[in-house]
Amino acid sequence: MVNYRYLGNSGLKVSEITFGNWVTHASQVDDAAAVQTVRAALDAGITTFDTADTYANTAAEVILGTALKGQRREGLEIFTKVYFPTGPKGPNDTGLSRKHIFESINGSLQRLGTDYVDLYQAHRFDYETPLEETFQAFADVVRQGKALYIGVSEWTAEQLRAGHKLARQVGVQLISNQPQYSMLHRVIEGKVVPTSHELGISQIVWSPMAQGVLSGKYLPGQPVPAGSRATDANSGAEFIKRLLQDDILTAVQRLKPIAADVGLTMPQLAIAWVLQNPNVAAALVGASRPEQLTDTVKASGVTLEDDVLEAIDTALKGVVNSDPAHTYTVSPKTRLV
């Protein structure tokens, strides 16, 4: 079964392996298979589920709500996000304005079939809306009982500090950040993680398997496997393309004996690695087939010794992105419409 960790400086516990449905539900797999993966996550002990209104233009929330219908709500932790365009993508159908936040939370609750979400997250930083407006709206959402806690995604260290200060002023808790983090992508370690630790903010990390590259199934000099994410435009083929370089794929192959030596599969090693960071509360995983989760959850509770971590660093030397400057490039400077 899956272990639990506290999310930030709060009393909320989440399963350290959290189910996310970014590129799978309403895109990569059909609805019936999507429901089966959620049920498999529940059977494996996962109680925390992450989605967003923008995933499949709101359809992913609908599927998650359907899959969780009938479950004891108090035994679940449901997260969603707001920022990116949804619906017909009008001028106010995006961003972190008060208008968009309230319309988005109401829509998300309806699609998810719940009265509240446990965590409501700003999917990106909005350079076009005053931060005071955003956090006052979040505070009102919390006071109305529509969300219990507030989080963000891909914010810089400075943005986290400013948001944390405003959250305290308006009487809500900013307890999490959701950045990309994996053995290959460590840009949060320089500034975001130390600042978050200081402020009592946890990381809920996405793409801990680097879009599947860390599974080892992509081989240098070989065509990508048929049916893999790299062949599916709806499942992030453009996103993964930058990782399909021979030097990266060759380095990843050097991880296979390391995983074997500690009795883990490659996916388990990748998940266990991010969970070694004490500022990480949860690793987000998806699945297109239920059996994938049976394998993944075995990474929960695994401790990687220092010599194993050093061996991983040696294997990946030269292909890891650790530049903190990358964190300043993720949020769009203008809203996407």
Burial (CB count within 10 angstroms: exposed 0-12, middle 13-18, buried 19+), residue 125:
buried
Side chain identity at residue 159, one-letter code: Q
Q: What is the DSSP string of 253-284?
A: HTTHHHHHHTT--HHHHHHHHHHTSTTEEEEE
Query: For residues 33 and 21, what is the distance between their CA atoms, to the nearest angstrom?
Result: 12
Phi, psi of 120 (to 5 degrees): -115, 125
* Chain CA centroid to CA 91, Å: 27
Q: Is 120 a catalytic residue?
A: no
Q: Two tokens at 210?
A: 């680097």
Please pick, among 4, 6, 55, 149, the residue that the annotation labels catalytic.
55
Length of the chain: 337
Q: Two tokens at 30?
A: 């059909």
Query: For residues 318 and 184, what is the distance between their CA atoms, to the nearest angstrom?
Result: 10
Long-range CB contacts (< 8 A, 24+ apart) of 69-76? 69/113, 71/42, 73/114, 75/47, 76/47, 76/48, 76/49, 76/118
Which residues have a catalytic role annotated?
55
